[in-house]
């Protein structure tokens, strides 16, 4: 992985192809799956406040960071409710 001019992580040579193969493998399977694409992760505390947007829409205008605890909360809630099955979703924090 390398950084672009804005210090944003970018997939390096070969990583993008591998990523696309994994994505195809998962999305074409018979499994119940959810692919989560969180915004910038932080070490903050659980807030329970986050926004989920289907990736079939545009990339969210807000890229508010989200704590790892909130990501874990969303993942468990998704499994318990059976939500976002066979979906790719964006996840970002919500500012108070």
pLDDT by 10-residue block (mean), the chain, 96 residues: 48 77 92 92 93 80 84 95 94 82
pLDDT for position 16? 79
Looking at the fold, whether 36 and 76 belong to one and the same domain comes out as yes
Q: Given this model, what pLDDT does residue 9 score?
A: 54
pTM: 0.77
Same domain, 48 and 78: yes
> What pLDDT is recorded for position 73?
96
Residues 60, 81 within the same domain: yes
* Contact of 50 with 74, CB cutoff 8 Å: yes
Annotate 62-74 with b (16+ C-beta within 10 A) or e (fewer). Answer: eeeebbeebbebb
Same domain? For 56 and 26 the reply is: no
**How much is the pLDDT for 3?**
44
The pLDDT of residue 80 is 96
Do 32 and 5 meet the contact criterion of CB atoms below 8 Å apart? no
- Structural domain harbouring 58: 32-96
Pair of tokens at residue 89: 């979703």
47 shares a domain with 73: yes
Closest CA to 47 of 66, 33, 60: 66
DSSP assigned state of 54:
E
């Amino acid at each position: 992985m390398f950084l672009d001019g804005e210090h944003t992580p970018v997939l390096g040579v070969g990583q993008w192809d591998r990523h696309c193969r994994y994505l195809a493998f998962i999305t074409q399977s018979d499994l119940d799956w959810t692919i989560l694409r969180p915004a910038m992760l932080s070490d903050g505390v659980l807030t329970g406040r986050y926004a989920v947007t289907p990736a079939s829409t545009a990339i969210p205008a807000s890229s508010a960071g989200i704590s790892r605890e909130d990501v874990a909360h969303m993942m468990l809630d998704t499994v318990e409710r059976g939500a976002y099955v066979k979906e790719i979703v964006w996840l970002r924090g919500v500012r108070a």
